Each structure stands twice: as structure tokens, then as C-alpha cells.
Amino acid sequence: MPSIFSRIVAGELPAYKVAEDADHLAFLDITPLVEGHTLVIPKQEIDYIFDMTPQALAALHVFAQRVAKGVQAAVPCKRIGVAVIGLEVPHAHIHLIPMNKVADMNFANPKIKVPEARMQELAAAIAAQVPGGSGLPTSANTTASPAPAADPNDATLAQLQKLTQGLNFISESDAPLEAVSYAAPAGDLADKQLLHLLGEPADAKVEKVDLISFLSNHTADGGVTGSVILANRFKALQMYLKQELDGTQVYRIGTGPKIHAYALGRDVAGRLAGFKTELTES
């Protein structure tokens, strides 16, 4: 009986594909431990990885190495962890897991929920970074535009990525915080300039909100996060945005029920940096 992975290979089920060649496929795990958690499989239906021929096993790992380099280039992390469990799906597969600490590789950890739009962004970003190209036709990957690789010299963005990792803004539904950095002209930006820079509709409504007020429910020890640890992480993020960036302001863009929110300030290089998220307000 074909496994769920065989059905993905056959095109019967969708997947957030990041790389493919004639014999292998890589796609995002839809129940990941962390963002960017990727599965690498042989297209051949085979249950146990060590039942593969030596040549096929070696080729699978060479392909996984290429994908791992793409994951590490697209997702902020110290290393890419590798695991083979082999009990979840009866189809040989390798887990590639972005990790900043050993605990990130603990399969007893609760799985995280990543919104579809974010999964599409991650898949596109990883595919764009797989050395030698992803091997995917444009239509087979994702409708989202490939996200540009982070500038390795953008220290502000790197720090923001660490501060926002794993944080969700809680409204009527939870949405992840995503670190962002934009090259922008100097001086105050008119709403139309800002919307163009952010890739938002030119006629979208723009409302400015104070950062401390915007995050108040998340920085309070008894706030919506329900966790002092998370509240302290939001406090650290707020402090960084206020102390390290100039003129940080929150921009609520659009009208309900889905509103995009950007917390942005100028860094020392003059870029607009901060985070973006989505609010659900009925």
C-alpha cells in the first residue's frame, strides 16, 4: 500500500517542496519541531532506510547534504541536525532540523503550528538557496515569490531573528513574528512610500500605534501569553526595538478581519528593521 510520501511523489497529495531530482524529493514537515524542519525522501517506495542499496543510500545522503545547505542559508540557526526515526511513516526519510540548541532535536517536544503563508515563504526561501538549484519547475514549488536571502552582514536582522524566533502574536488567532529588514530612503516616509516598500496594496489603510501599547498584553507577566518566560522574551524584543532602533513605530495595515502589523525603526545603516505579524480582528 503506498505511503503518504509515495502519494506526494505521485502528485496525489500537495507538499511544500523545496528540492527534487530524478530519485529524491525534499519538502517541509507539516508538523515541524521548528520552522524549516525538512524531510528528505527517496522516490522509490522503501520502508527501512538501511534496506536501501549502498549506492542509493549514499545518493540520498548527498542529496540531503545539498538540501541542508539550502535550509541553513534560509533559516537562522547554528547547525542543521539530522535524524532518522523510521517509525512514523513506512517510507525511508531523513529529518533536517534547524537547531540552535540540542533540545531543538527532541522529538518529544510539542510540534509547532506554522501558518500556510509562512510555510510557503519558507519553502520558497529554502528552494532558492539549494546549491545548484532546486530542480523544481516553478509551478511545482509554490505560488509565493522566493524570499531573498538574508544579508549575512545585516547584524540587526540576525539579532531580530533570534529575538523573534518562536514568538507568536496572540489575537483571535495566533500568528508568528517574522524579523524583517528593508532598504529605505532616508527621512520620514509617506504612507504610499511605506506601502510600496512593504509590498502592500497602494490603497491600504495605515494606522500608527505606539510599540509599548501594541505589545502591552504580551509583555505583562499575567498577559495573554500565559507564561512569564514568554512575557520576558517580548520585553527583551521591545527593549531592543526601542534602544537599538531609532523611531520605532508600529504600522497596522489594512482592515479586518486580517490586518498586517509591522514594528519598524531605523538601524545604524539606515534600514527599516523590526518584525511583521498578522492580527485577526472580527
For 36, the 3-state DSSP assignment is coil
Q: Which residue, among 32, 146, 159, 39, has the nearest Cα to 89 in the 3D structure? A: 39
Short-list 278, 282, 281, 279, CA closest to 121: 278
33 close to 114: Cβ distance less than 8 angstroms: no
Cβ–Cβ < 8 Å for 162, 76: yes
The CA distance from 78 to 133, in Å, is 23
93 catalytic residue (yes or no): yes
- Dihedral sign for Cα 172, 177, 181, 186, please: positive
Neighbour count for residue 216 (Cβ, 10 Å): 14
Beta partners for 259?
279
Out of 24, 37, 91, 93, pick the active-site residue. 93
Q: Identify whether 257 is preceded by a cis peptide bond (ω within 30 of 0).
A: yes
> 182: which strand partners?
272
Q: Which amino acid, one-letter code, is at 247?
A: G
Number of residues in the chain:
282
Active-site residue list: 93
